[in-house]
Structure 1
């Protein structure tokens, strides 16, 4: 049983390292409060707090798009730059449309997730298979030699 758990953890780690996992997680976390707060009725003691406004449809659309973009980041890494830029724009649009971007939770999480998606670079097979000591000692060309003139 312990071997199966270790194999599952290693398999998940390999899956996670081959895609922008954290960008998708932050994007998913951005969509949830944007979806939740316009339809929730919160109670703080005896004080009811209802954030349902006419912007509920806008919140629904933005939240569903953010969740869909998070899933696409996990399963279609090729669209990471498009998804990242779209997540950033949707997070910014959620500020005036969706109750201050899900009480700023969705806004900040969306900006972080979109930035991570744009910055993520897929791992290369050659660089990952080379030990760190060999990568550090490999000389890199500094430029062309023009014969000492």
Structure 2
């Protein structure tokens, strides 16, 4: 190992941040995060017991199992968006459908918080597209940004409206001029 290698001189936190940024840029990161965060309140609120001073607020409902299933599925879909980009469209559609089902099943979709997060995450997943890799050589990028000039026609095609035409044997029309 030489003393000039960049890996040796960089701080490990800077290397981690750069690698995380590259990882995050190659997948629908925010879609997965919103979907994952949307599943947590949907699964949590039916089983939560909130204390407001001396008053205990419990949201135990008969739909607790359905809420738990929807929440766990949304968390799983969020992780799937991160680690399996090929199924991002399916995961996005499934997230939107589960978010809509959570409205009647899971206390208005986790008091609308989980519903909105899962809905936005699903929409982001459907709309995300992988970026195009940049060329290694700067000449390729420069040529791609230069607008192409329009070539002028080299021949004169005659008058615009030629009325003397005959039918060719192959079905086309030839000018009889």
* Interval containing the TM-score (normalised by the shorter chain): 0.7 to 0.9
What TM-score, normalized by structure 2, do the two folds share?
A: 0.73
The one of the two structures with greater contact order (alpha-carbon pairs below 8 A, sep at least 6) is 1
How far apart are the structure 2 equivalents of 1:125 and 1:141?
26
How far apart are the structure 2 equivalents of 1:106 and 1:100?
9
Larger radius of gyration: 2
1:38 aligns with 2:38: no
How far apart are the structure 2 equivalents of 1:115 and 1:129?
35
Residue 32 (structure 2) aligns with: 24
| Unmatched 5+ stretches in structure 1 | none
- Matched residues, number: 145
Residue 83 (structure 2) aligns with: 75
Larger helix share, 1 or 2: 1
Residue 115 (structure 2) aligns with: 107
After superposition, what is the alpha-carbon deviation per residue over 1:55-97, rounded to whole angstroms, capped at 9, x for unaligned? 0010011001001101100000000000000000000100110
Alignment RMSD: 2.8
Query: How do residues 1-149 of structure 1 correspond to structure 2 at under 5 angstroms?
Result: 3-126=11-134, 134=142, 137-139=145-147
Change (3 A) 1:13 1:124: same
List structure 1 segments (4+ residues) > 2 angstroms apart after TM superposition. Answer: 126-131, 133-142
